[in-house]
Structure 1
């Protein structure tokens, strides 16, 4: 799905939400702006059909499909790293960022930045993120990961995932500007 299709779908969804709520306060407007910036598709649930009979006991409840998120920039692919990504998504969800949903809704796929199958993954997956640490070498590691992805035909738009409390000013802003200027990559930063 193209980026413009995602953004149009998100705007349509946000407008529908505003109409249903009637009034939108400034905090909701900021959240909707953050949601649009992230360009993450939201799961759509089918409306429930009323039934006079409960479903048979032997049928299982069908779960919504998990949302794929490809994450680069982590040192190794491990359950602990996946848990770190899920925790960050959970924190954004707790802050009221609706697009983040529930952490268990995401299918996290950790990929090295220079993977040979990046071009194919870009065609298959529309949600990408770069993990950014907060140590002294974080800028160089993040920029190297973006550069390796760029060289391997990686995505041109990623969400910056990072530890909570990391301010936009400094590391995240510098990484965002360098990614755009030198590589033509849009790095979406949601820190304040």
Structure 2
């Protein structure tokens, strides 16, 4: 549980305690009977006990879903936000699997990395970021070939800009990955 969630839970609990104490302290004076001090209490009377509410337990944060993304030129927060924005667009289109973009743990990986086989064993969800510039096909096919040669995943989601049509670049890339590299590139229809 994060520190922020714990602090919020403690504040909520403390507020409930204050409200309960104020409610107990605000007694109707006309209906109230005098209560003797604890030292002078009669042995025949049992003190009124109040149950102390346990702090409200917040559900633990849902674990984030790891998504390894290749094909981006770097690994900064700008690229992570770009991927999350695309997942958010798919979610807005009603793609339930995309969920909330903040539910994803985006991990940017370079195709040249030497430990792709270990990463493939560790993570099951992979994506290829496909941009829309003039050299995209050559760059993306080279990335897929590097993944193939270094023991990377055999199935990837095509993450692309929303205006990129399926005919042309996306289909050509999907077919080349399948035919030459025996890799599945999942291209989602609009």
CA RMSD of aligned residues (A): 1.5
Aligned to 2:11: none
Distance 2:138 2:155 in 1: 19
Q: Does 1:56 align with 2:65?
A: no
Distance 1:54 1:182 in 2: 65
Q: Trace 1:77-156 onto structure 2 (pairs within 5 A).
A: 77-156=75-154
Q: Does 1:170 align with 2:168?
A: yes
Distance 2:69 2:173 in 1: 16
Q: Would the alpha carbon gap of residues 113 and 55 (structure 1) be closer, same or farther in structure 2, given more than 3 Å must change? A: farther
Q: Would the alpha carbon gap of residues 162 and 56 (structure 1) be closer, same or farther in structure 2, given more than 3 Å must change? A: same
Aligned to 1:33: none
User: How big is each residue's C-alpha offset from its partner over 1:74-127, in whole Å with a ceiling of 9 and x where there is no partner?
Assistant: 001110000000000000000000000100000000000121111001111000
Aligned to 2:73: 75
Unaligned runs of 5+ in 1: 1-52
Q: Trace 1:4-23 onto structure 2 (pairs within 5 A).
A: none
TM-score by length of structure 2 reads 0.70
Aligned residues: 139
Unaligned runs of 5+ in 2: 1-51
Distance 1:171 1:139 in 2: 7
Distance 1:191 1:112 in 2: 26
TM-score by length of structure 1 reads 0.69
What SS does structure 1 have at the residue aligned with 2:180? helix
Distance 2:160 2:139 in 1: 13
Instruction: Tell me if the contact between 1:167 and 1:191 (Cα under 8 Å) persists in the aligned partners.
Output: no
What SS does structure 1 have at the residue aligned with 2:158? strand
Distance 2:188 2:165 in 1: 9
